[in-house]
Amino acid sequence: MNGLQTGSVYALIALGYSMVYGIILLLNFAHGDIIMVGAYTAWLFMVNFGQTPVLAVIAAVAACTVLGVVIEKVAYTPLRQAPRLSLLITAIGISFLLENLAQLVFGAGARPVPRIFDMPSVSVGSVSLSGTAIVTLLVSVVAMILLNLLIKKSKMGKAMRAVSEDTGTAQLMGISLNKTITFTFAVGSALAGIGSVLYCAAYPQASPTMGSMLGLKAFVAAVLGGIGSIPGAMIGGFCIGLAEAGATALGLSVWKDAMVFAILIIVLIVKPTGILGRNLQEKV
Amino acid sequence: MAGLNKNTRKIPVRFGYLINTALFAALLLGGTKVIGSGAVSMYHTKVILLCGINIILALSLNLATGFLGQLPLGHAGFMALGAYSSAIFMRNVTILPPEALFPFGILIGGLMAAFIGFLIGIPALRLKGDYLAIITLGFGEIIRVVLLNIDDVLGFKLTYGAASLKNIPKTTNFFNTFLCVAITCFVIYTYIKSRHGRATLAVRDNEIAAEACGISTTYYKTLGFTVSAFFAGVAGALYAGYLGVLSPSSFGFMKSIEILVTVVLGGMGSMAGSVISATVLTALPEVLRAFSEYRMIAYSLLLVIVMIFKPTGLMGNYDFSLSTLIGRFNGNASKKFEKEGGKHE
C-alpha cells in the first residue's frame, strides 16, 4: 500500500517528464527541483505565514507552474535551435542552481512540513489504509484522468500532440510552437506541484536535495513506462513505487536506490522504448 | 618530409616534440626542486596537486564529452573506483615502500576503472543523448551505493562504507602528479590526432554518416569511453594518495557535475580549455574562501549562462600548440596555421 502511495507520486512527476520529453525531446533535469520548490512553498505558507493547508496547496501548485514557465522562457527558449547536448547541460545547470539557491535561502537542513491532510485511517478487512494514502491515490488518479481528457479532447491537447509528432508540420498548420511548449511546461510543472504536496504528505519534510533523487526515480518511471506515453508513466510510477516498497519489505532498504537504477538499466537494454513506448527510428 | 616542412614554413614536427619534451622535463624537475626545497608552502602545494588531479579529470571527461560527443554523468563513479582500488592495493601490499608501489597503485586504479567502464560502456553506449546521460548517472550511483554497502553484505573489510577508508599512504606529490598530467595530455592528444581520433570525431559530428563511411561507431564509442574511464581512475588513485582518507559520499552526482562544469566552461573539445578551466576553478575557490557558500550557485549560473551565450564553451574547440606559437613569433606563420587556428584569433 505504501508502494502504491509513493508510486502515484512518482507517476505524477513522471508525467511531467514524459510530456516535456515528448514535446521537445529534453530531459528536464530541473523537474525534480521544481518539486522541491513546491514543497518549500507549502512549508512557507503553512509554518511562516500560518495559512490553511488548502491555501498552501494552491500556492505550491501555483509557484511550481510559474517557475516551470519561467525556466522554460529564460533557459530553454534561447536554446531551441542549439544541439541537444547544450540543452541537457543547461537543464542540469538550472537544477543545480535551484538546489543551491534553496540551500542558501532555507539552509541545508530539512524543514518539517506539518500534516497537510488530516484524515482518519480506514480499515478494509485486515488491511488498514492511512487517510493520506487514500487521498494521494484519489488525487493522482483524478489528475491523470483530467490530463488524459485535456490531451485527448481539448484544442491545446491536440496542438501538443501535433507538436510532439512533427514540430515543423505543426507550425505549418498554424500552431504556435512557443505557446504550446509553454503550456506543456505549465501543465507538467503544475503536476509536479501536486506531486510535491502529496510527497510532503507522505514524507513530511522539505530539503534542498529532495528533488534530485525523487526526480531521477520519476524519470526512471517514465522510461520504464515508455517515454512520451501518459498511461505508460502511470504504470511505470506504480511499478517503481511497488518495487521500492518490496525492497524495503525484504530488508534491503539501503539498496533501494541502486535497485531503481538497475531496473532502469535493464529496461534500457532490453526494451529501450519502455512498456508502452513508440519506436522512433532516427532518420538522416 | 623536410622539404615539405620548408614549403609550409612550419616548425618541423620532430623539433616541436623536442621543444615540448624539453619544456616538460624542465617544468617537472624545476617544479619538483622548488617544491622540495620548501619554497612553496604546504597549502599551496596542496592546491597545485588538486589542480593536477582536476586537470586529469577534466581531460578525461573531455575525451568522452568533447571529442566523442556523449554525455556521461557518472564520471565520479569511475574516479571512485580508481581511488578505492588503488587505496586498497596500497594499504594491503607492503612488500615495497609505498613510494615505489604508487605507480602500480595508479595503474591498478586506472585499469579497474577502465575495466568497469568497458563493461558499462557496452550496454550504455547503445543508447543516445539523454538516455546515455541517465544510464551513466545510474551506474555512477550504483557504484557509490555498492562502495557504501559492500562490507555489510559480503562481510569484507574493504571499503569500510560510510566510516571511510583511512590510513592510505599519502604518496601523491608534485612529481607523480605532474607526470600523470603530462601523460594524460600526451595520450589524449595523440589519440585525437591519430586515425582513431579522427574516427572518434566523425562519430561525434554525425553518427549516421560515420557509420555509412564504414566506421564502427560502437567500437569507437566503447574505446573512447574506456580510455576516459581509465584516466578518471588514475585521477582517483592520485586523489586517494593526496587525501589519505576516502568516503563514498565524496564521489556523488555532485562531483560528476563539477567535472562537467569544468569541461563545459573550458570548451568541449579543447584540451587547453580543460586545463585552464580546471586550474582556475580549483584555485579560485581557494582564493575566494569567504564566498564559499556562493560557489555552487556561481558554478550553476555560469553553466547556464555559458550554455545560452556561448554553447561551445569559453575556448570553443581551439587548442593551444607551442609549435604554432613559436612559428608565429618567428614571423612565418604558416598557411596551415591560418587555416586551422587563425580564425579563432
pLDDT of residue B335 exceeding 90, the answer is no
pLDDT for B228 equals 92
For residue A184, the tally of other CB atoms under 10 A from its CB is: 24
pLDDT for B340 equals 40
B144: which 3 cell numbers?
557509490
Q: What is the mean pLDDT of residues A144-172?
A: 83
Is residue B234 very low, low, confident or very high in pLDDT (cuts 50, 70, 90)? very high
Question: Would you call A79 and B299 a contact, using CB atoms and an 8 Å cutoff?
Answer: no
3-state SS class at B165 = strand
CATH of domain B2-334: 1.10.3470
Is residue A178 very low, low, confident or very high in pLDDT (cuts 50, 70, 90)? confident
pLDDT for B231 equals 92
- Nearest neighbour of A90 by CB, restricted to B128, B149, B304: B304
The answer to whether A253 touches A17, Cβ cutoff 8 Å, is no
Is residue A269 very low, low, confident or very high in pLDDT (cuts 50, 70, 90)? confident
pLDDT of residue A283 exceeding 50, the answer is no
Report the alpha-carbon distance of residue A36 to residue A13 in Å, rounded: 12
Report the alpha-carbon distance of residue B119 to residue B142 in Å, rounded: 14
B86-A260-B149 Cα angle (round to 5): 35
pLDDT of residue B167 exceeding 70, the answer is yes
Largest distance between two CA atoms of chain A: 59
Q: What percent of chain A has pLDDT over 70?
A: 89
The answer to whether B237 touches B83, Cβ cutoff 8 Å, is yes
pLDDT for A120 equals 63
Please state whether A165 falls in left (phi above 0), alpha (psi between -120 and 50) or beta: alpha
pLDDT for B162 equals 67
The answer to whether B274 touches A56, Cβ cutoff 8 Å, is no
Q: Where are the domains of chain A?
A: 2-119+130-270
Is the alpha carbon torsion for B116, B117, B119, B120 positive or negative? positive
Minimum mean pLDDT range among A169-178, B65-74, B232-241, B306-315: B306-315
pLDDT for B93 equals 76
pLDDT of residue B333 exceeding 50, the answer is no
Is residue B131 very low, low, confident or very high in pLDDT (cuts 50, 70, 90)? confident
Comparison of pLDDT for B6 and B91, the residue scoring more: B91
pLDDT for B5 equals 42
pLDDT for A204 equals 76
The answer to whether B147 touches B80, Cβ cutoff 8 Å, is yes
Q: What is the mean pLDDT of residues B90-110?
A: 81
pLDDT in tens, A219-229: 888 888 877 77
Comparison of pLDDT for A38 and A279, the residue scoring more: A38
Comparison of pLDDT for B59 and A227, the residue scoring more: B59
Which helix (DSSP H) or strand (DSSP E) does residue A123 occupy? Answer: strand A122-124
pLDDT for A123 equals 65
- Nearest neighbour of A27 by CB, restricted to B134, B138, B141: B134
pLDDT in tens, B253-304: 778 888 888 888 888 878 888 888 888 888 877 777 767 777 777 777 877 8
Q: What is the mean pLDDT of residues B314-341?
A: 56
pLDDT in tens, A129-151: 677 777 888 888 888 888 888 88
Q: Does A240 touch chain B (CB under 8 A)?
A: no
Q: What is the DSSP letter of B246?
A: B
- Nearest neighbour of A272 by CB, restricted to B69, B131, B264: B131
pLDDT of residue A26 exceeding 70, the answer is yes
Minimum mean pLDDT range among B155-169, B201-215, B293-307: B155-169
Q: What is the mean pLDDT of residues B156-172?
A: 72
pLDDT of residue A281 exceeding 60, the answer is no
Comparison of pLDDT for B321 and B124, the residue scoring more: B124
pLDDT for A217 equals 84
CATH top-level class of A2-119+130-270: mainly alpha
Is residue B229 very low, low, confident or very high in pLDDT (cuts 50, 70, 90)? very high
pLDDT for B74 equals 85
Q: What percent of chain B has pLDDT over 70?
A: 80
Q: What is the mean pLDDT of residues B222-228?
A: 90
Closest Cα to residue B301, out of A270, A95, A11?
Answer: A95
**Which residues 160-219 of A have a C-beta within 8 angstroms of B?**
212, 216, 219
pLDDT in tens, B184-203: 888 888 888 888 888 888 88
pLDDT for B230 equals 93
pLDDT of residue B326 exceeding 70, the answer is no
Question: Would you call B142 and A86 a contact, using CB atoms and an 8 Å cutoff?
Answer: no
pLDDT in tens, A186-218: 888 888 888 888 888 777 777 877 877 888 888
Mean model confidence pLDDT for chain B: 78
Q: Does A266 touch chain B (CB under 8 A)?
A: no
- The gap between the terminal CA atoms of chain A, to the nearest Å, is 47
Q: By a Cβ cutoff of 8 Å, what residues of chain B touch chain A?
A: 65, 69, 71, 73, 123, 126-131, 133-135, 137-139, 141-142, 145-146, 148-149, 152, 208-209, 253, 257, 260, 264, 268, 293-294, 296-297, 299-301, 303-304, 307-308, 311
pLDDT for A216 equals 82
Q: What is the mean pLDDT of residues B83-88?
A: 87
Is the alpha carbon torsion for A263, A267, A268, A272 positive or negative? negative
- Does the reported pTM lie above 0.90? no
Comparison of pLDDT for B35 and B103, the residue scoring more: B103
